[in-house]
C-alpha cells in the first residue's frame, strides 16, 4: 500500500482587488567594507581549527603580489597544513568591528590569491536577528593572481537547516580554503583581502504605515477577552532610532488570552502582500520584553494555502525591524512556502504563549514588502539507478514539492538501456522535497527518516528526499530507495543497554559527532520489545566513520549526553565522544550507556553477574540536605566512578573516587527535593540505588 505525498488543497476563487495603492521606493547604497586589513577598525586575525595548527592565529602581511584588482598594502595569509581535516578552517577572533549586514546587502565579495584551482567556503555565524548559520562555496578560476569571489546571500546554506543568509546580520566570519579536501601532505598557502558586503537595488512596497487612509487600517482581535474589538492607531510612543514616524499601531494581548490570540486586518490593506520574486515581508516592532511576532498571510489571489511563520524580537523598549522569509515552509499544514499575493494580514504577538495574567502592550509599524529582481531558474539533473529494483514498472518520475507531487510531470528516461534513468527539472532557489515514483504513484521510494538525504515533514507523516537548490547542479547518481549509488550503502544497527540508569520517558537518542544531530533531533532510538535495550538502524555510505554519543533525553544543548570522561571509549580531544571506525558492511554496534561495554547486556565478556549489591551503601536515606554519604564495600576493591542522575534519567554529575577511599560525600545541597539514582562502578561491577532527598 503506497501513500501519495500530494498535499490536499482547497481551491479558492481569486479575489478581485479594486483599488490598489503602492508606495515604491528604490534605493541603492555603496558597498560596505567588513575587513581590508589596512586599519585597526577594518582588521582582525583568524584562529585556525581542524589541523595541526589548531588554536594558532593567521598573519596579516604585506601584499605578496600587488597587481591587477588588488594593489592594497596589507592582506591576510592563510595556511592549510600538510595534515588537515576536510573541514579545516579559521574563524575571526576577534570578530570584525563592522557586522556582516545582509538586510540591505545581497552578496559578500572576497578577494583571493591561490596557487591552484580549488575553492573558498564562507560561513557566517552569530546572527543578531535570528538568522541560521550559513555556509556556501565558490570555486576560484585563476592561479597566482588576485580575483574576487562573490557569495550570493540568497543561496541556501550547504548545511542544515539549509536557509539563506539574506535578511540577516552576522558577527563571525569563518573561512575554509579547499573545503571538502583533506591536507595534501604539503602546506598550502593562500591569501585573502577586502571582505565587502555588496548592496542590491531593493524595491520596497509599503503595505501599511498608518499615516494615510490608503496605507492604514485596523485589526480585529480574536482568541481573548477582546474578541471582535479593533486595534487603535496612536501617536508613536517612542519616535527614535529607526522609526520616527508620526503614527503606529497599538496591539494589546490581554491578561487572559489563548496561545493563538491575534488580530486580523479588517478591512484588509488596499495593497495586497505580493511575495513573488524572492521578496520578504518586514515589520517594525516595539516590545517591552523578548518574545516573538507571528505573521500569517491569508486570502491568496491564486488559490495558494494560508502561510504562517514567526520571528523572535531581539530588542526591548526600542524599535527594530524583523523580516519574514516567505520561501520558508509554513509552520502549519500544508507546510508550504508562501507564493504570489495575499489580501489579508494576521498578526500574533507572542504566538504560542498564553496570557501572562497581565495585559501586554506592543506596537508595530511599517509593514513593507522588500523584493528584488525575479529569481533565476536553476537546472537540476538526476540519475536514478533502477537495476536493484526487481518489480515490474514502465515509467520513472521525479515527484516533489516543485511539481505539486505530480505522478507524471517530470519523467526520467533510460536512453542507453542501462537501467540508469535520467532527466532534469528547472526551479528557482529553494528547499524542495521529492521522491522517485513509478507508473503514476503505483510505487514509490520508502524511507524511515534516518537516511542522510531525507527529512521528515513537519507533520511527521512523510519522509522524503530533500533538495536545497541555489545553483545549477547535478545530483550524484543514486540507487532507487537509497541515498547512494547501488552497492554503496551499509546499514549500521546501534544497540544500547541503559546500564542500570532509568531511561528518560521522553526517549533516548543517538547524537553528536557532526553526523547524528542533537539529542531530541532526528535519531531517536526505540525499545520496541520492552527489553530495556534501545536500537536504531541508520543507512550510510560504505566507508562511513564518525564520532557519536548517546543522550538520555531530548536536550539540544547536550546537557543530558552520556559522560565518558576517563573511559577508554571516550575521546578527550573530541568532547569525550565515542568513535566509529570505517564501516564497510552491514554492522551492529552494541554497547551500554555511559560505559565501554561491547554488548548491550552490560555484562563483561569474562565476568557474569556484574551487578553487585556489595559495591556500596547509602548511609541515611532519605539523605540530609547537603550531602549523601556513600560507603563502599570492602569485598569489591578498586577505583570508583560515581554517577548521579535524576528520576527521568538525566545525568547530573559524575565523580572519580580513589581505590583507597571507603567513603564519599556526594554533594546534593543545590538539588531540589526529590528522587535520584546513584550508580557506582568499580572495575566490572556496578550497582544502582535510589536516593531520596
| pLDDT tens-digit series, residues 110-145 | 999 999 999 999 999 999 888 899 999 999 999 999
Closest CA to 84 of 13, 186, 5: 186
* 515/252 Cα distance (integer angstroms): 44
Percent of the chain with pLDDT over 70: 92
Q: Is the pTM of this model over 0.85?
A: no
* 197/110 Cα distance (integer angstroms): 9
Q: What is the pLDDT of residue 8?
A: 30
Which of 105-119, 269-283, 298-312, 505-519 shows the lowest mean pLDDT across its residues? 269-283
Tell whether the model's pLDDT for residue 635 goes beyond 80: no
CA angle 633, 635, 640 (to 5 degrees): 55
Which of 169-178, 185-194, 421-430 shows the lowest mean pLDDT across its residues? 421-430
Tell whether the model's pLDDT for residue 500 goes beyond 90: no
Binned at pLDDT 50, 70 and 90, residue 464 comes out as very high
C-alpha torsion angle, residues 327, 330, 336, 339 (rounded to 10): -50
* 523/519 Cα distance (integer angstroms): 8
pLDDT (average), residues 577-595: 93
Q: What is the pLDDT of residue 649?
A: 64
Mean pLDDT (the chain) is: 87
Whole-number Cα distances in Å, 413 to 387, 423, 455, 479? 14, 7, 26, 15
| pLDDT tens-digit series, residues 199-220 | 765 577 899 999 998 899 999 9
Q: Is 185 exposed, middle or buried (0-12, 13-18, 19+ CB in 10 A)?
A: exposed
Tell whether the model's pLDDT for residue 26 goes beyond 70: no
Domains recognised in the chain with CATH numbers: 29-200 (2.60.120.200), 203-371 (2.60.120.260), 378-479 (2.60.40.10), 489-592 (2.60.40.10), 613-692 (2.60.40.3080)
* 321/367 Cα distance (integer angstroms): 10
Whole-number Cα distances in Å, 412 to 249, 404, 439? 53, 17, 11
pLDDT (average), residues 426-455: 90
Tell whether the model's pLDDT for residue 28 goes beyond 70: no
Q: What is the pLDDT of residue 278?
A: 64
Residues 6+ apart with CB under 8 A from 111: 69, 70, 146, 147, 148, 149, 192, 193, 194
pLDDT (average), residues 597-626: 78
Amino acid at each position: 500500500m503506497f501513500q501519495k505525498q500530494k498535499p490536499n488543497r482547497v481551491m479558492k476563487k481569486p479575489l478581485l482587488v479594486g483599488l490598489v495603492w503602492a508606495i515604491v521606493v528604490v534605493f541603492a547604497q555603496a558597498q560596505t567594507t567588513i575587513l581590508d586589513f589596512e586599519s585597526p577598525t577594518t582588521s582582525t586575525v583568524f584562529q585556525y581549527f581542524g589541523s595541526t595548527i589548531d588554536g594558532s592565529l593567521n598573519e596579516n602581511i604585506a601584499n605578496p603580489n600587488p597587481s591587477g584588482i588588488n594593489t592594497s598594502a596589507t592582506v591576510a595569509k592563510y595556511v592549510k597544513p600538510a595534515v588537515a581535516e576536510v573541514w579545516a578552517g579559521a574563524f575571526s577572533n576577534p570578530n570584525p568591528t563592522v557586522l556582516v549586514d545582509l538586510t540591505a546587502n545581497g552578496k559578500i565579495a572576497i578577494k583571493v590569491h591561490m596557487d591552484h584551482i580549488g575553492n573558498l567556503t564562507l560561513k557566517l555565524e552569530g546572527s543578531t536577528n535570528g538568522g541560521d548559520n550559513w555556509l556556501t562555496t565558490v570555486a576560484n578560476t585563476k592561479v597566482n593572481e588576485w580575483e574576487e569571489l562573490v557569495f550570493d546571500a540568497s543561496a541556501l546554506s550547504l548545511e542544515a537547516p539549509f536557509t539563506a543568509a539574506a535578511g540577516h546580520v552576522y558577527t563571525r566570519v569563518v573561512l575554509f580554503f579547499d573545503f571538502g579536501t583533506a591536507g595534501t601532505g604539503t602546506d598550502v598557502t593562500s591569501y585573502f583581502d577586502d571582505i565587502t558586503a555588496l548592496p542590491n537595488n531593493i524595491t520596497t512596497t509599503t503595505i501599511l504605515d498608518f499615516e494615510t487612509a490608503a496605507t492604514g487600517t485596523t485589526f480585529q482581535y480574536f482568541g481573548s477577552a477582546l474578541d471582535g474589538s479593533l486595534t487603535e492607531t496612536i501617536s508613536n510612543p517612542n519616535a527614535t532610532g529607526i522609526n520616527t514616524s508620526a503614527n503606529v499601531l497599538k496591539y494589546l494581548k490581554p491578561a487572559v488570552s489563548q496561545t493563538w490570540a491575534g488580530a486580523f486586518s479588517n478591512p484588509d490593506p488596499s495593497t495586497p502582500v505580493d511575495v513573488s520574486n524572492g521578496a520578504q515581508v518586514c515589520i517594525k516592532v516595539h516590545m517591552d520584553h523578548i518574545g516573538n511576532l507571528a505573521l500569517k498571510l491569508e486570502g491568496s489571489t491564486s488559490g495558494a494555502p494560508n502561510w504562517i511563520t514567526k520571528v523572535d524580537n531581539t530588542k526591548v523598549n526600542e524599535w527594530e525591524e524583523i523580516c519574514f522569509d516567505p520561501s520558508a515552509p509554513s509552520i502549519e499544514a500544508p507546510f508550504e512556502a508562501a507564493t504570489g499575493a495575499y489580501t489579508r494580514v494576521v498578526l500574533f504577538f507572542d504566538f504560542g504563549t498564553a496570557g501572562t495574567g497581565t495585559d501586554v502592550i506592543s506596537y508595530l509599524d511599517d509593514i513593507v514588502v522588500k523584493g528584488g529582481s525575479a529569481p533565476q531558474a536553476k537546472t537540476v539533473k538526476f540519475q536514478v539507478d533502477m537495476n536493484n529494483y526487481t518489480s515490474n514498472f514502465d515509467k520513472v518520475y521525479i515527484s516533489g514539492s516543485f511539481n505539486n507531487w505530480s505522478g507524471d510531470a517530470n519523467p526520467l528516461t533510460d536512453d542507453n538501456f542501462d537501467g540508469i534513468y535520467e532527466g532534469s527539472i528547472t526551479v528557482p532557489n529553494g528547499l524542495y522535497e521529492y521522491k522517485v515514483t513509478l507508473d503514476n504513484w503505483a510505487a514509490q521510494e520508502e524511507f524511515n527518516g534516518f537516511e542522510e538525504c531525507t527529512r521528515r515533514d513537519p507533520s511527521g507523516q512523510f519522509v522524503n528526499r530533500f533538495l536545497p537548490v541555489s545553483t545549477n547542479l547535478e545530483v550524484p547518481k543514486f540507487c532507487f530507495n537509497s541515498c547512494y549509488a547501488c552497492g554503496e550503502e551499509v546499514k549500521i544497527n546501534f544497540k544500547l543497554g541503559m546500564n542500570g540508569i532509568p531511561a528518560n520517558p521522553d526517549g533516548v537518542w543517538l547524537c553528536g559527532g557532526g553526523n547524528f544531530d542533537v539529542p531530541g533531533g532526528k535519531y531517536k532510538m526505540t525499545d520496541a520489545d520492552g527489553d530495556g535495550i534501545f536500537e536504531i538502524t541508520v543507512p550510510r555510505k560504505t566507508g562511513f566513520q564518525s564520532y557519536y554519543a548517546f543522550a538520555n533525553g531530548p536536550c539540544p544543548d547536550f546537557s543530558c549526553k552520556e559522560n565518558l570522561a576517563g573511559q577508554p571509549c571516550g575521546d578527550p580531544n573530541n568532547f569525550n565522544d565515542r568513535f566509529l571506525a570505517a564501516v564497510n558492511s552491514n554492522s551492529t554496534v552494541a554497547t551500554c550507556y555511559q560505559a565501554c561495554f561491547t554488548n548491550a547486556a552490560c555484562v563483561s565478556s569474562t565476568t557474569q553477574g556484574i551487578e553487585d549489591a556489595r559495591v556500596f551503601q547509602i548511609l541515611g536515606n532519605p539523605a540530609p540536605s547537603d550531602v549523601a554519604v556513600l560507603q563502599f564495600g570492602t569485598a569489591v576493591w578498586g577505583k570508583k566512578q560515581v554517577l548521579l542522575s535524576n528520576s527521568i534519567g538525566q545525568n547530573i554529575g559524575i565523580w572519580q573516587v580513589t581505590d583507597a577511599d571507603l567513603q564519599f560525600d556526594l554533594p546534593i545541597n543545590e538539588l531540589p527535593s526529590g528522587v535520584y539514582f546513584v550508580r557506582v562502578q568499580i572495575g566490572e561491577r556496578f550497582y544502582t540505588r535510589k536516593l531520596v532527598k
